[in-house]
Amino acid sequence: MGTAKLSEYDYDIIIIGGGPAGYTAGLYAARAGLKTLLVEGAATVSQITITDIIENYPGIPDGIGGFELMQLFKNQALKFGLETITKDVSAIVKSDSAPALWVVSAGDKSYRALSIIAATGAQWRKLGVPGETEFAGRGVSYCATCDGPFYRNRDVVVVGGGDSAIQEALFLTHFAKKVTVIHRRDRLRAGGILQKRAFAEKKIEFVWNGTLAEVLGADFVTGVMIKNVQSEKLTDIAAEGVFIFVGRIPHTEIFRGVFNLDTGGYIITDENMKTSAEGIFAAGDCRAKLFRQVVTAAGDGANAAFNAELYIGNMKGEAY
């Protein structure tokens, strides 16, 4: 690959994204002695920071607030010398130098790096109905794996009819007394085996041709208002939890044309977090994968940093 001179670049690694994947990558990269910059978005926040409590992160059995856990990630990475800035990335281009560097523009500055780790995350698609935002974390959830255990022996509703919605509805039956699936059509979009399991589950009921019109409640959710798409009739359903699964939106627009994304906009990588662009790795919820949790994002971040370290070693002629 050739050897890049120190004066030709600013950082060994630039990490884009300040969630669990980004800060874990920063921790591993900085601890390995690599000059590393993490660019935390100014206009976006990690989904973990708006999560009320996380009970399934290993080593913290009593649970912890999402913002608090993120601060632990951040402080530990900073301890090892990670540099951070809070700016939105506007462009990523490959230089014409030999060897090629990646140039990241953020704010009014550009930074040159040997490698990039994309860790920009994703967000749940919102319905935008009254009460959805007001009761987020107080009965409205977008993750049954995260919040299902809080609804033991309670009635909940699930909005959606795809694979994710039905998988999460089935998961919720381990805790909830009743799960009502609300779907805008008269049949599910989920795969056949999931449909078969859902229809056989006694705890699951279905409301067909219905859309969520409003989330009802006082301090916490007490129910939902459903609108029939054919008759437009409104019906109230009592429930203490509302789980919305109508898709995710990955924060990957900045990477279009830089490396390959799948049809949903997620970053395609191999098992070593490598993208289709040499020297760029991806980690966390922005990556194409099935399971998105804090612990899997952290694992991705460590894996990406390690493989970026190997890549940089080759560039510098320091490979083992």
Catalytic residue positions, numbered: 143, 146-147
Task: Please tell me whether residue 261 adopts helix, strand or coil conformation.
Answer: strand
Q: Cα 252–288–59 angle (5° rounding)?
A: 100
Q: Which residues pair with 267 in a beta bridge?
A: 261, 287
Task: Return the structure tokens found at 204.
Answer: 């699951």
Q: How far apart are CA 188 and CA 166, in angstroms?
A: 9
- Helices within the chain (DSSP H only): 20-31, 66-79, 144-147, 163-172, 192-200, 294-315
Q: Give the count of alpha carbons within 13 A of 85, CB side only.
A: 17
Q: Cα 38–292–69 angle (5° rounding)?
A: 55
Q: How far apart are CA 132 and CA 210, in angstroms?
A: 17
Q: In sequence order, what E strands does 83-232 have?
A: 83-86, 89-94, 102-106, 109-118, 122-124, 140-141, 155-159, 178-182, 204-207, 210-217, 221-228
Pairing of strands 11-16, 109-118: parallel
- Cβ–Cβ contacts within 10 Å for residue 306, how many? 17
**List of residues 6+ apart from 192 with CB closer than 8 A:** none
Task: Return the structure tokens found at 169.
Answer: 């509805």
Q: Cα 160–165–169 angle (5° rounding)?
A: 115
Report yes or no: 117 and 305 within 8 Å, Cβ to Cβ: yes
Residue whose entry in the numeric block shows the structure tokens 């919605």: 165
